[in-house]
Amino acid sequence: MLPNLENIKERIKELIENTDTHNLEENLSELHCADLAEIYQELNLEERQVCSSILSEDELADLLEELSPQMQIETLENLDDEKAARIILKMPHDSVADFLGDLDDVDSETYLNRLPLRVSSQIRELLSYEEDTAGGIMNSSVITVNQDMTIEQALSFLRIKAEKDNIELYYIYVVDKLNHLLGVVSLRSLLTSPLHIKIEDIMSTDIIKAYVDDSQELAADMLIKYGFLAVPVVDHYNRLKGMVTWDDAQEVTEEETTGEIYASSGITTDVIDEDEILAGPIFNAIRARTPWLFITLLGEFVAVNVAHHFDYLIGIIPIIAIFMPLLAGLGGNIGTQSITLMVRGLSTGEVTASSAMHHIFRELRIGFLIGSLFGLMVILLTWRWQHNCALGFVVGASMITNMTLATVIGTITPFLLKKINIDPAIASGPVIATTIDVIGLAVYFSMVAVFLKYLI
């Protein structure tokens, strides 16, 4: 059963207000770090400072991994440098690299210089990789063994290594003296094999691996596809550099999904960090949201121009104007449905460029059938409401045509954008909205013009 975090938060605030340090420490230590992070971020600055002063260094290290970059920086800034360095040392190297990457060079160097040389060297190497690559998200702390070791020797080595260093144990990687990746051993195999046999007898040489300059999405896809807990990362000389773990893949997937949602709404994340859009300076949020709004504005002016071209029809039959939002709304909605399905399908691999024509014709049929259903409803309702069969037919036929075209446009657009190396997710918002509005109005007014003599 999930804890009631709202009640716990109020309890913590009450204990802080009453300076009940003993019970506060007890309450905080009982919380899972994910729950603690959720509560911690909802406290005010003074309350967070009290909590961070009470938490142990191990608890603070776990907490920092769950916090946003801005909150990590704020928390460590309120600690003395020596304590902050000790806490950083307890965190996985990839998390430290992510944190230090958000600091300016001077502050980053300050923390790095306080870490042991071996650790700071590993973190500097992580910082040298592009942020969105496998090298940029990997953890450089991995346990390696020699293929000539016996199982007994390897287990003894692991006990010493795991106790001494902050290393995540998923798989044991087998390397030679130059750190070339030779094989991988699961913990299960290590624990269930006879103690006298050698590592080379149980290691698997059929290794799924990523390269340091592979995209982070590719590394995450490997973990998801093969159901691994970790994937080794090597350079182009096959030297083991680190591993990408399942939690890294989860973060990448969440970032990718968030990016798609933002892009589909016309929110730019290329120049503004995603975290700053919600919680950063207002100017950054404005910069992220306005570029595609300008493009939408230009597109809607085209739609206005189309309506202006047919304004004489509105003068002759004013009633036709009230159906414009109806056509635009349903056309936009069904087009957005099609484009969302295609964008998600392309992202997950369920839809490919080779299957484009199949999906286009399938969505065309779906759009026509749904459009016919709604078109028939509009014909009957308009006829009953306005007692004008011709008007009902024009509006209904326009809706069928508009909804059919909207699904085709919504299906084709992601493939076209992907072909020219533009993120297909951006089509869900600005592109589809303006295109369908323009085409929908043009179709509607054209049909009104053709059947004008029956409408008067």
- Cα separation, 301 vs 307, in Å, equals 10
What's the pLDDT tens digit per position in 33-57?
Answer: 888 888 888 888 888 888 888 888 8
Does domain 5-130 bear CATH number 3.40.50.300?
Answer: no
Largest CA distance in the chain: 97
Is 0.85 topped by the overall pTM?
no
Q: What is the CA radius of gyration of the chain?
A: 30
Which residues have C-beta within 8 Å of that of residue 185, sequence separation ≥ 6?
145, 154, 171, 172, 173, 174, 199, 202, 203, 204
pLDDT for res 299: 75
- Tokens 């009953």 belong to residue: 384
User: So what's the pLDDT on residue 369?
Assistant: 94
Going from N- to C-terminal start, the domains of the chain cover 5-130, 144-254, 274-455
Superfamily holding 274-455? SLC41 divalent cation transporters, integral membrane domain (1.10.357.20)
Q: Is the Cα dihedral 330, 332, 333, 334 positive or negative?
A: positive
In this structure, the dihedral spanned by the alpha carbons of residues 136, 121, 90 and 199, taken in order and rounded to 10 degrees, is 80
Residue that the structure tokens 């085409």 belong to = 439
CATH superfamily of 144-254: CBS-domain (3.10.580.10)
What pLDDT, on the 0 to 100 scale, is given for residue 212? Answer: 93
Pairing of strands 181-186, 171-175: antiparallel
Q: 147: buried, middle or exposed (CB in 10 Å: 19+, 13-18, 0-12)? A: middle
CA distance 232 to 210: 6
The Cα–Cα gap between 230 and 306 comes to 56
Task: Return the closest-CA partner of residue 406 out of 382, 427, 385, 383.
Answer: 427
Rounded CA-CA distance 70/273 in Å is 11
Amino acid at 60: L
In order, the DSSP letters of 340-366 are HHHHHHHHHTSS-GGGHHHHHHHHHHH
Q: Give CA–CA dist 75/322, Å, rounded.
A: 56
Q: Which stretches in the chain have pLDDT values below 50?
A: 1
Dist. CA 219–CA 2, nearest whole Å: 32
Q: What is the pLDDT of residue 426?
A: 65
- Quote the pLDDT of residue 105: 76
* Confidence at residue 309, expressed as pLDDT on a 0 to 100 scale: 80
Q: Name the amino acid, one letter, at 338.
A: S
Inter-residue contact 105 to 82 (CB < 8 Å)? no
Cα 4-7-11 angle, rounded to 5 deg: 135
